[in-house]
Amino acid sequence: MSRVLIIESSARQQDSVSRQLTQTFITQWQAAHPADQISVRDLAVNPVPHLDAHLLGGWMKPAEQRTQAEQASLERSEALTEELLAADVLVMAAPMYNFTIPSTLKAWLDHVLRAGVTFKYTATGPQGLLTGKRAFVLTARGGIYAGSSADHQEPYLRQVMAFIGIHDVAFIHAEGLNLGADFHDKGLSQANARLAQLA
């Protein structure tokens, strides 16, 4: 049995294409892997605070020197990190906002990229500690950006995943969603076909 962690980040609940892709992924994954456990963290419904002085203090100060706010921030970060550590498969659903990921997803990443926990520094550079995991990234984009210099989603997320040791990353892009009905339908159809292959 594998544990699948899904991270939702679309600000929209209704009519969200990335959420539609998530539901398709869940249906197909459960059909192929009925024993797997799937959990969903919705960053739009329960947003994670952005990186601030309280979290930095929680990470860096000895326990006896932390304020209550710093301790609370540390405990939140640890809970999010433990959830990631326990997962065998990570799924990030991310609409493209202004050429990159939603700020809620960035905030989550800031909590779980933890020195000494999900990566470590060595004499030859940083080393990811989450080896053996798989990741899927489901994106929804108004235009067509894959492979272009305007795509700051895929390169960033590939680098972040590699930084913590996750190198098996598959991207499923639903593109051209705002370019008219034909582009919308084609983009969604291609994304669903890609999902069916991967699941």
Q: What is the pLDDT of residues 170-184, one digit of tens each?
A: 999 999 999 999 999
For the chain, what are the domain ranges?
3-198
**Helices within 87-171 (DSSP H only):** 103-112, 154-163
CB hemisphere CA count around 151 (13 angstroms): 18
Decide if pLDDT at 199 tops 80: no
Sorting pLDDT into bands at 50, 70 and 90, what band is 118? very high
CA distances from 69 to 13, 45, 81, 139, 149 (A): 31, 22, 18, 34, 40
CATH class of the domain at 3-198 = alpha beta
3-state secondary structure of 26: helix
Average pLDDT score over the chain: 96
**Residue appearing with tokens 């800031």:** 110
Amino acid letter, residue 166: I
Backbone φ/ψ region at 167: left (φ over 0), alpha (ψ -120 to 50), beta: alpha
**Residue appearing with tokens 């991207």:** 171
| Residue 70: CB atoms within 10 Å | 21
Average pLDDT over residues 56-76: 96
**Residue appearing with tokens 């598959």:** 170
If one compares 199 and 125, the residue with the highest pLDDT of the two is 125
Residue closest to 81 by CA, chosen among 102, 59, 112, 51? 112
3-state secondary structure of 182: helix
Could you give the percent of the chain with pLDDT greater than 70?
100
